[in-house]
Amino acid sequence: DETRPGGLRVLPSMVVVLGFPGSWMAEPDTGIDLPMIVHGDELIELHRPLPAAGTVRAEHRVVRIVDKGPGRGATITYDKDLFDADSGERLASVRHTTFARGDGGFSQAVGRSDLPLPPPAPVPARLPDRQLALRTLPQQALLYRLCADRNPLHSQPEVAREAGFERPILHGLCTYGFACRALLALWADHDPVRLKRLYARFSAPVLPGDTLRFDTWREGGEIAFRAHAVERGQVVLDFGRAHIDG
């Protein structure tokens, strides 16, 4: 916002697309059934405010592959660290988990699988402290493709149907961006610098055009949250946790 003191500032969720490694899971050597992958969860941690202009360097590493069993898929987790290319300072850390729905049972062939991470804390059972509804656009997935994620699951109806969806679904990271926007509006007076950590699990697909209702709770020093697709009455983000200064 150029009208605020300090000029343009960058939303913290921008770190999920900076240094994007490309569609490495589509490489034939991985053996991954690409149309069957969906986003599992996402965690970002901000170490310092993101500059509005500059060059970043990204380091990626696969840290965990968990076999859920034949017919149950597998999860692939990788970490990304973002650095200011000029100063070398670390800007942010990202942990990304993909659910490869068509790739369970591999440990029977290779003889090993990593252990799963412990489950995240659930959101409170009481009524939300604050709520906000945001509408996605019918063309939302096509706009998000401009961030370089061109998985055809999000744009080609025949690929979406082959993967078991009625039509192309919204990118999980686009939904994650809506969560960041909602939390900043509800709890940070739209100040992106105050958000230091953001986690969410993707529990169901979002369809472009869905209205997303964010239910949020103050839980000690954190904000817990969950998102529903209003028209379908379905929880699409769950186990959400954010650390917001102030």
Which residues form the catalytic set? 149, 154
- Other CB atoms within a 10 A radius of the CB of residue 53 amount to 6
Q: Which residues contact 244 (CB under 8 A, 6 or more apart)?
A: 183, 187, 188, 194, 195, 196, 223
Return all residues near 103 (Cβ < 8 A) that are at least 6 apart. 31, 32, 33, 36, 73, 74
Q: Report residue 71: phi and psi, to 5°.
A: 75, 0
For 126, other C-beta atoms within 10 Å of its C-beta total 7
- How far apart, in whole angstroms, are the C-alpha atoms of residue 179 and residue 37? 22
Query: How many Å apart are CA 65 and CA 140, to the nearest integer?
Result: 31
Listed in sequence order, the residues at least 6 apart from 88 whose beta carbon sits closer than 8 Å to its beta carbon are: none
